[in-house]
Amino acid sequence: MPLSLMNKRILVVGLGKSGLSVVRYLVREGARVTVSDVKKEVDLEPGTVTEMRALGVTLETGGHTMDTFLRSERIIVSPGVPLNLAPLAAAKERGIPVTGEMDLATQIMNTPIVAVTGTNGKSTVTAFLGALLQNAGHRVFVGGNLGTPLIEYAAGGSTADVAVVEVSSFQLDTMEAFSPLVALLLNISPDHLDRYPNYEAYVQSKLKIFKNQGAGDFAILNDDDDILSSFAPPKDVSVLRYGLKKKDLRQAFVEGKRNQSRFAGQGKPFL
């Protein structure tokens, strides 16, 4: 998907793994990049600082200044950065777009996405789904919050049949364009409450994985989860529910020593 970044003043907040990947991509595309990090320069990896200098990036360390944020045309926030920072709030009030690395990646790629989130088990399920698809003969990228940032795949020129990505609640908080073909939400239980004002805010963050889905997309939900059993994704999204026991409107369950799947009235057992 075309995205013009030439000479755009773009601020990357946070110089972690995904932040570094974003900076490299933006510089390659001709953007005028500034990085702001709360760490002092002496506390950053020496190789990272050297690379930023070589790339011609403006580096702000030891804290965030309001002017740096307000002079930007776009802000890319790393997952570990709290979104309640005063400079971020001021930038949003000015109408400056604030997004994340994974959201940027989806704007420059066409590969269908299978997105996995949940409080527990998302890394295991992401790796398993990737291996399953690879063993079926598909070309698969596996990454996101697990391993390689999605922007590295999107910017790298590689092509896959599908991208299987782990997505954290922090990444979902900055999603605007992100719209996976398949969104799998495993479970929701209290977590990261030091980052969110309350449990409901954390729940809404997880549910955002379905926000941009529509006709032709799939939502897979753990029907044994109290929240997800009563949750309805957007209209026209195909909903598939699973749980331990057989139940109406549940497409996958355990019966005896077999897993059972049924779609459109059909049943298909598998070991």
Q: What is the pLDDT of residues 240-253, one digit of tens each?
A: 999 999 988 899 99
Tokens of 44: 């950053």
CA 54 from centre of chain: 29
The reply to whether 9-96 and 104-261 are identical in fold is: no
Superfamily for the 104-261 domain: Mur-like, catalytic domain (3.40.1190.10)
- Burial string for 222-236 (b: 16+ CB within 10 Å, else e) reads bbbbeebeebebeee
Rounded mean pLDDT, 182-201:
92
The pLDDT score that the predictor gives to residue 264 is 60
The residue-averaged pLDDT of 113-126 equals 97
Q: Residue 265 — pLDDT band, cuts 50, 70, 90?
A: very low
**Known catalytic residue: 145?**
yes
Query: Does residue 133 contact residue 164 with C-beta atoms inside 8 Å?
Result: yes
Q: What is the mean pLDDT of residues 71-80?
A: 95
Residue of 8, 17, 92, 192 with catalytic role: 192
Q: For residue 261, what pLDDT is reported?
A: 84
What is the C-alpha separation between 221 and 231, in angstroms, rounded? Answer: 9
246 is catalytic: no
Fold of 9-96: Rossmann fold (3.40.50)
Edge-to-edge order in the sheet of strand 32-37: 58-61, 32-37, 9-13, 74-77, 98-100
pLDDT score recorded for residue 266: 45
Catalytic hit among 64, 122, 206, 208: 122
Mean pLDDT of 126-154: 96
Confirm whether 64 is a catalytic residue.
no
The whole-number average pLDDT for the span 114-136 is 97
Please give the pLDDT value at position 197. 92
Domain boundaries, the chain: 9-96, 104-261
Q: Is the pLDDT of residue 151 over 90?
A: yes
